[in-house]
Structure 1
Amino acid sequence: MIPRALLLLTVGSTLGCGLIAGAFFAFSSFVMPALAKLPPAQGIAAMQSINVVVLNRSFLGVFVGTAGACLILAVVSLFSWSEAGSRLRVAGSALYITGTFLVTMARNVPLNDALARVSPAAAEAAETWSRYVPAWTAWNTVRTLAALASAALFTLALVQSARAD
């Protein structure tokens, strides 16, 4: 039987991963393609604004909070390795932390920081934007798939735990 705290942590991680996957999916599927259709100066200005506004309590709370929950979930699951769902919880946690959180820090944030230093009206802005959009979108798609797969693994862990009861 899965302890109540572990159940709640798994459900919370599942929901957090799903929310993040949805937000990132929106960017890869229609936000970035829409921004790419704008003149480069407008696309850059819009993305620079988004990159400032995204640093808010609600988004960061879910994004960072889910990473923290996954870390706790992985550690607890390693200590209860033989229990139903433990392997799936560790896999889901590792995937979110590496494929979503660390990819963000190592790939998307540096791209955003570089874009923040570009003046939308500068001569090199169009060239920077033409490199930024496909690179940022590709890494964002990696984050999307990792968060979605994590949510699926956590869901399977919940099912496996429920069947073991």
Structure 2
Amino acid sequence: MIALFFLALTFLAALGSGLMAGLFFAFSTSVMAALAKLPAESGAAAMNAINVVILNPVFLSVFMGTTLACAILAVRAFLNWSEAGSAWLMAGSLSYLIGIFMVTAAFNVPLNDALAAVPPQTNEAATFWTRYLAEWVPWNHVRTMGGIAALASFIMALR
């Protein structure tokens, strides 16, 4: 019964990691490039709107649910290190926890908060938008790679 629980949790962690990787991939490959082509005021306004709308129950359930699953799986992997697949579980868990959760909390969210605090239609807003893009996008690439690495690791753990 316990083994089935951890199998299901690993499967859910793989799904959550894949969903997050896909979301961040879309931002890395198209959304941010499109926003960067807009006038600074419009791009910043659109990003601020995205940052409000994304905090919905579906996104938060997947983002935080996968975080919780990865924390549990990391403990499981550590406590059962000699079991087959534990290294893959640990790799997947750490890829998600560090590459997605911690990067989001430490870099992307503070940048989002700072963007929301800048008064629109000012020179400061245009200057900050340029800085925002230069800093936010590379960290989003890290999140994309973290999600892909987590997904691949969980797939390997399920084999």
Structure 2 counterpart of 1:100, one-letter code? I
Structure 1 counterpart of 2:57, one-letter code? R
TM-score by length of 1: 0.93
Distance in 2 (alpha carbons) for counterparts of 1:72 and 1:14? 14
Contact kept in structure 2, 1:25 and 1:141, CA below 8 Å: yes
Structure 2 counterpart of 1:81, one-letter code? W
1:134 aligned to 2:134?
yes
Residue 25 of structure 1 is matched in structure 2 by: 25
1:95 aligned to 2:106?
no
Residue 86 of structure 2 is matched in structure 1 by: 86
Contact kept in structure 2, 1:42 and 1:120, CA below 8 Å: no
1:107 counterpart SS class: helix
Task: Please state how far the C-alpha of 1:117 moved relative to its aligned partner.
Answer: 0.5
**Equivalent residues in 2 for 1:1-165 (5 A)?**
3-159=3-159
Task: Please state how far the C-alpha of 1:124 moved relative to its aligned partner.
Answer: 1.4
Task: List gaps (5 residues or longer) in structure 2.
Answer: none
Task: Please state how far the C-alpha of 1:91 moved relative to its aligned partner.
Answer: 1.3
1:119 counterpart SS class: coil
Distance in 1 (alpha carbons) for counterparts of 2:113 and 2:32? 17
Shifted more, 73-82 versus 22-31: the winner is 73-82
Task: List gaps (5 residues or longer) in structure 1.
Answer: 160-165
Listed one character per residue, the Cα deviations across residues 67-121 of structure 1 (whole Å, up to 9, x for unaligned) are: 1000001111222211110111011101110111000000001100100011221
Distance in 2 (alpha carbons) for counterparts of 1:19 and 1:75? 23
Residue 162 of structure 1 is matched in structure 2 by: none
Q: How many residues align?
A: 158
Contact kept in structure 2, 1:70 and 1:93, CA below 8 Å: yes
Root-mean-square deviation (CA, aligned residues, Å) is 1.0
Contact kept in structure 2, 1:17 and 1:96, CA below 8 Å: yes
* Percent identity between the two aligned chains: 56
Task: Please state how far the C-alpha of 1:123 moved relative to its aligned partner.
Answer: 2.0
Shifted more, 115-124 versus 100-109: the winner is 115-124
2:62 counterpart SS class: helix
